Amino acid sequence: MDLEEGFNVFYGHNGQGKSNLFEGIYILSIAKSSRVSNDKFLINNDLIETGGHAQILGIAEEKNHNIKAQVDYDISSNKDLDKTFRINGVIVSTQEFVGNINSVFFDTDDIAIISGPPLVRRKYINILLSQINNDHVKNLQRFQKVLYQRNSLLKNIKDGKSKEIELDFWDDRLAEESSSIFYERNKILLKIRDNSKNFALGFNKEINLDIKYLPKIGRSENDNFFEENNSPEKIKLFFANSLGKNRARDIDQRNTTLGPHRDDFGIYFNGSPASITASRGQSRIISLSLKLSEAEEIKNIVDAKPILILDDIFSELDENMREKVISEIQDFDQVLLSTADLALIDKKVVQNARFFSINNGSINQD
């Protein structure tokens, strides 16, 4: 399907075709699904049973040149799945693949960024960083390997199979790999905080939004260490000291209790946690403000506007708020909007838009 610049509106009650399109663009952006953890669930069941080949392919025009991104799935007869990434026909690694086609995806489930567990917020910030920093995926992979080794050692120490002094090496490695992750998360959240605050006020003057990074690094609530945007070197020393102080607890629990894998960030609405005080409509505006600030930051850093995908965004917004949303997203080169009710979109406001109807899994242009 050829999606031109400007607004592309998808409408209909059977959203399977739209879902597949949006999911495909998402995978071409960040190399993984937004819906499932195992890629096998993306493949047709008949193909999984018989074996064969499946592919997601997209071509993006960027600054007078094309980027051809594709993901190939080869399924063997014993149901094993092999995934290969290609850019312009050349096989690349995951970290080389991510960031070639940038997109920001918003759907109703993104309210979980506010009300959900810390894991949801870590996923949000990791996806953003992966699109603007090629090293972030690599950093996370190295961190996970070191974390696994340290946790294995903690269990052995607790069981009397290893000595505590062996933690010195892995503590240093963990502090080294963690410092850049702490630094990049703090840096981007400071920018997201300012952008999202402005977006939220533009939507509703009564929404005073604030964001605070809450890393699990052994700091007190009154410590402004991360507000100062300290260097990775200072963060490494700070975290290494925290690991030392926490060593006995980690051994007792057989687990690393401090680190980027326990990170969180707080979202505050008029001075109180948004998860407690914000209504559902306000939560939707807050989460949309976060997504738009994410798109703004991608644009600023990579000097290209990402594809903006808004899935059923208008269902709980009044007419005035819908017009404000349209006004805020007019500046993006390519916007994909979906709705179950076309009456929610004023065609006079959404100018030069193309409209696609969705029926029984197929998409057709009006």
Give the domains, in start order, of the chain with CATH numbers: 112-303 (1.20.1050.90)
pLDDT of residue 178: 96
DSSP classification of residue 134: H
Phi, psi of 230 (to 5 degrees): -65, 160
- Averaged pLDDT for residues 241-260: 95
Q: Which residues of 129-141 are buried (b: 16+ CB within 10 A; e: fewer)?
A: bbbbbeebbbbbe
User: What do you get for the CA distance between the two ends of the chain, in Å?
Assistant: 14
More confident residue, 151 or 231: 151
Going from the C-alpha of 128 to that of each of 6, 122, 147, 179, 291, the distances in angstroms are: 23, 10, 22, 18, 10
Of the candidate ranges 31-40, 134-143, 182-191, 255-264, the one whose mean pLDDT is the lowest:
31-40
More confident residue, 37 or 208: 208
Of the candidate ranges 33-37, 138-142, 321-325, the one whose mean pLDDT is the lowest:
33-37
The angle formed by the CA atoms of residues 308, 338 and 54, to the nearest 5 degrees, is 75
- At 34 the three-state DSSP class reads coil
Most confident of 7-11, 63-67, 112-116: 112-116
Sign of CA dihedral 266, 272, 276, 278: negative
Give 224's pLDDT tier (boundaries 50, 70, 90). Answer: low
Give the predicted TM-score (pTM) of the model: 0.86
